[in-house]
Amino acid sequence: MKKIIYIITLIISVITLSACSNSNETTISVIATSIPHGEILEFARPYLEERGFELEIIITSDYYFPNPAVAAGDADANFFQHVPFLSKYNSENPSAQLEVAAYVHIEPIGLYSKTITSLESIPQGASILLSNSVSDHGRALNLLRAAGLITLSETFDILSTTLNFSEVITSNPKQLVFRTDVAPDFLISAYNSNEADLYIINSNYALEGGLNPVEDSIFIEETTNNPYVNIVAALESNLNSEKIKALIEVLALDEVKAFIESQYQGSVIPASNNA
């Protein structure tokens, strides 16, 4: 079923991108996930129109085609990923790299459960479900360390995409059992189906699933000095184009930052508040 959904999403995205490829120099095409990225772009739309640009937003739930699509010139930019995710893509695709065009916001990850209400009440041997996105594994382990549930080795690198959990976790007093076999966008489905005791979920997926990260998480990630800033990515050759410069300028407006703060109430944090 997951494979069928993926294929349908990919077909729709390709058709949409084909239609957008005919856009002119005053149309900015951006591939984005719906919440919060698409909502932020919708808010930014009138500010771009004031500058003479029409915004074309291509919504997707797929994380693996937006970077190749922008690299191929099928869209001007994308807005769905954090810096480590882009870094991993660039390392694996040296001939089709993208650059950070704008730092926009942080989506803190949180620890969730349907049955456990506090860190203190987590039982021995509780199962904890992480996504299979290796660019988030260091982040998830760091969250658990901050919550006091595990300790990590001195050589632990939060940005590593090749972590061996048994090597970097030096203490696991509650004997948490880790699973990393679910795609990020299926974590909410797993949560709703009670597939584990605990779940580490990004705020964008939590919001899409009707959860309030600030109120519903057992423990939530610190955003100060957080390397997982969500970004707009584009080809280096397009960074100085009028379209991308306008997009960067608008997303940095105080009005956009105020919208993020008001709309998400701490579940999404403007990047400027991450200093």
What secondary structure does DSSP assign to 160-218, as a single string? -SS--HHHHEEE-TT--EEEEEE-GGGHHHHHHTT-SSEEEE-HHHHHHTT--HHHH-S
* Positions of CATH 3.40.190.10 in the chain: 2-107+226-274, 110-220
- CA distance to 53, 83, 96, 103, 104, per residue, from 135 (Å): 34, 9, 19, 18, 19
- Whether 264 and 36 have beta carbons less than 8 Å apart is answered as yes
- Whether 178 and 93 have beta carbons less than 8 Å apart is answered as no
What class is the 110-220 domain?
Answer: alpha beta
Each residue's pLDDT tens digit, 102-154: 999 999 999 999 999 999 999 999 999 999 999 999 999 999 999 999 999 99
CA–CA dist 10, 269 (Å, integer): 30
pLDDT score for 20: 46
**Topology of 2-107+226-274 in CATH?**
D-Maltodextrin-Binding Protein; domain 2 (3.40.190)
What are the backbone angles phi and psi of residue 248, rounded to the nearest 5°?
-60, -45
- CA distance to 161, 172, 197, 255, per residue, from 157 (Å): 9, 18, 26, 36
Each residue's pLDDT tens digit, 1-55: 444 444 444 444 444 454 444 458 899 999 999 999 999 999 999 999 999 999 9
Each residue's pLDDT tens digit, 216-256: 999 999 998 899 999 999 999 999 999 999 999 999 999 99
Determine the straight-line distance between the first and last CA of the chain, rounded to whole angstroms. 42
pLDDT score for 24: 82
Element housing 83 (H / E): helix 83-92
Task: List, in order, residues 6 or more apart from 1 with CB less than 8 Å away.
Answer: none
Return the number of other C-beta atoms located less than 10 Å from residue 80's C-beta.
Answer: 25
Indicate the residue type of 42.
E
pTM equals 0.86
